[in-house]
Amino acid sequence: MQTRGTVGQRGDEVLAQCPGLRRLGEDSCREHEAFQGVGNQVLARGPATVDGGLGPELPQGKLVTATSPQTVLALICSGDFGAAVAAAVAEPGNFHEAEIEFAGDALTHPEISDTLSKASGREITAVSVSWEEQEQRLGAPMADGQIWNDHVGYPARPHHAARYGLTTTTFEQWAAQQDWTVPAA
């Protein structure tokens, strides 16, 4: 099964070995097929938004992941999606049947934790755990998604959105806008 053009042979091999990843690939393929021939529609694909949370251990100074420390992650802010929708509605001709790999930044987990440390004024460390540990902590779908990033990932990079005149928020900009007050226990 070829899930999308950017997955390629290596991605197909990984999907064949991992049922959870195969499900993620099939979902991506169905979304792409549903989009085909729709007309004046825009498909903006991107990773999970950074606004969705960075893990329950963040208040304790840990960014825990099953993703390899060397894996570059495409990152996007939910506000950037809203701005893209507004631009597509305002100028439909510029976005006719566009497929945009949408990201505001591309960083590794150690780079993410460094950025969070600077923005929050406290030490945040990237911690790598096994898939099994992550499944215990957050469930199989989250653990599968993190392994997906290692083996397949999202090709989205900021310059893809820039081709359409869209500006995106870097992770550093996003982090600087957050309230890093840790609630008292």
Q: Where are the domains of the chain?
A: 44-175
Per residue in 9-22, pLDDT (tens digit) is 444 554 454 544 44
Residue 47 three-state SS: coil
What's the rounded Cα separation, in Å, for the pair 86 and 84?
5
Residue 112: per-residue pLDDT: 93
- In the CATH scheme, what is the code of domain 44-175? 3.40.50.720
pLDDT at 39: 47
pLDDT digits (tens, 9 = 90+) for 154-177: 788 888 888 888 889 999 999 999
Distance from C-alpha of 140 to C-alpha of 123, rounded to nearest angstrom: 28
Q: pTM here?
A: 0.73
Lowest mean pLDDT among 34-43, 114-123, 132-141: 34-43
Tell me the per-residue pLDDT of 39-97, one tens digit each, with 9 for 90 and over: 455 555 666 677 767 777 888 889 888 888 998 988 888 888 888 888 888 888 888 77
Taking the C-alpha atoms of residue 56 and residue 139, their distance in angstroms, rounded to an integer, is 13
Q: Report the candidate in 75, 69, 92, 99 with the shortest Cα–Cα distance to residue 168.
A: 75
